[in-house]
Amino acid sequence: MGSWGPGLYSDDFALDLKASISAVCRLPHDADEIVRILAELNPAADQPDEEDHTTFWLVVADQLQRKGLESEARQRARRIIDDGTNIAVLEQLGMASGDLRQRAKALTKLADRLAAPPEPKQRRTLKKPQPLIVLPGEVYVFPVDSRANVYNPYFINPDEAKFTPAGWSSCLIVSAGHALKFLAWYQVAPSLDQWAERPNLAEAIRPIDPNKNSVGTISKNHFNRMQLELAGRVEPPSVAAPEHDLVVSAVASDIGASNALSRWLPQGSVPPKRRRIGFGKR
């Protein structure tokens, strides 16, 4: 597995970070606090020896510049471009010489954009914590395909999702809350069984192990596309609360709870970050 190319967003870390920046920028914080939160989520920010260190500051600077937010990231990125450390890291990782030249051109363009402070822009932020779409103790049933996967809610068009209902499954909302005081998260335990016909509450809850759960987000659109139907309510189970870092990572990366409802994803954690582990000629 290698880099997708020499562009600033041609590797998985940069793409993941871009998504995190979009989520964190929804919070009603100034640029310095946004950078602090992002650095806390990405330890490489404060570890110059880490291969993602320079990419972190370049991506943060670029995204905040585009959003009209001035921060320390702009000056740090300019120094990284001037001293060539990002190019040096990529060369050590084995990036081809042609790609290194293209990367240098991309960084030159970024330096030009960062030469002047960003023009302030109106930013839409959350005024209050996101409302909880589902609540602890609620049991939902939903259609699944022949592989026991829920409808992929990231697709609006069912034809593109290639989803054909073949039965039903269920899940329990174990707990819910807000990360960073504003972003809603949900701890979801999926059923270990499925049914040909829509199950009732007793049937839906029986094969669910509350200890086998995952943390993710649920929007109204995702809720509707997955066709979640309330089967009933039970007493919220007493299970271990998810770790703070896990919750923050899930909401900052907007990892959908739909992942917990598909058999192809192991339960108990959010999907691992995609990682770059090497470069090569394409």
Select the more confidently predicted residue: 233 or 124: 233
CA distance 134 to 175: 9
Pick the closest to residue 91 from 56, 51, 59, 53 (CA basis).
51
Average predicted confidence (pLDDT) for the chain? 89
- Token pair listed for 189: 């335990």
pTM here is: 0.75
- Report the alpha-carbon angle 230-233-234, nearest 5: 145
What pLDDT score does 263 carry? Answer: 66
* pLDDT tens sequence across 50-108: 999 999 999 999 999 999 999 999 999 999 999 999 999 999 999 999 999 999 999 99
Pick the closest to residue 41 from 61, 64, 57, 17 (CA basis).
17
Helix axes 31-41, 53-66, angle to 10 degrees: 150
CA distance 153 to 247: 20
Measure CA of the first residue to CA of the last residue in the chain; give whole Å: 11
pLDDT above 90 for 19:
no
Would you place residue 262 in the very low, low, confident or very high pLDDT band (cuts 50, 70, 90)?
confident
* pLDDT tens sequence across 189-202: 999 889 999 999 99
In eight-state DSSP terms, residue 116 is S
* pLDDT tens sequence across 132-178: 999 999 999 999 998 889 999 989 988 888 899 999 999 999 999 99
CA dist 118 → 3, 27, 68, 105, 154 (Å): 29, 19, 5, 21, 32
CA distance 167 to 149: 10
CA distance 194 to 179: 32
Contact 142, 169 (CB under 8 A): yes
